[in-house]
Amino acid sequence: PARRAEAWARLVKDLPESFYAQAATEITLADAPKFADAIINNQVQGRTLVKIK
């Protein structure tokens, strides 16, 4: 766990904020089923963050 925390801290320091905006898509919980199909069909790249609130 400590090495993982160190790795994330370094990524945050070394990569520009724009990288994270490009590497992740934020969706609502209502959109999750639609995105699940796209993920299963290899149509989504990067991370998909599901906004709960």
Model pLDDT for residues 26-49, shown as the tens digit of each residue: 999 999 999 999 999 999 888 899
Please state the rounded mean pLDDT for residues 9-27: 87
What's the Cα-to-Cα distance from 19 to each of 8, 13, 34, 44, rounded to whole Å? 14, 12, 25, 16
pLDDT at position 48:
92
pLDDT band at 50; cut points 50, 70, 90: very high
Q: Given a cut of 90, is residue 1 above it in pLDDT?
A: no
pTM score of the predicted model: 0.56
- 28 vs 53: CA distance, rounded Å: 8
User: According to DSSP H, which parts of the chain are helical?
Assistant: 2-14, 17-23, 32-40
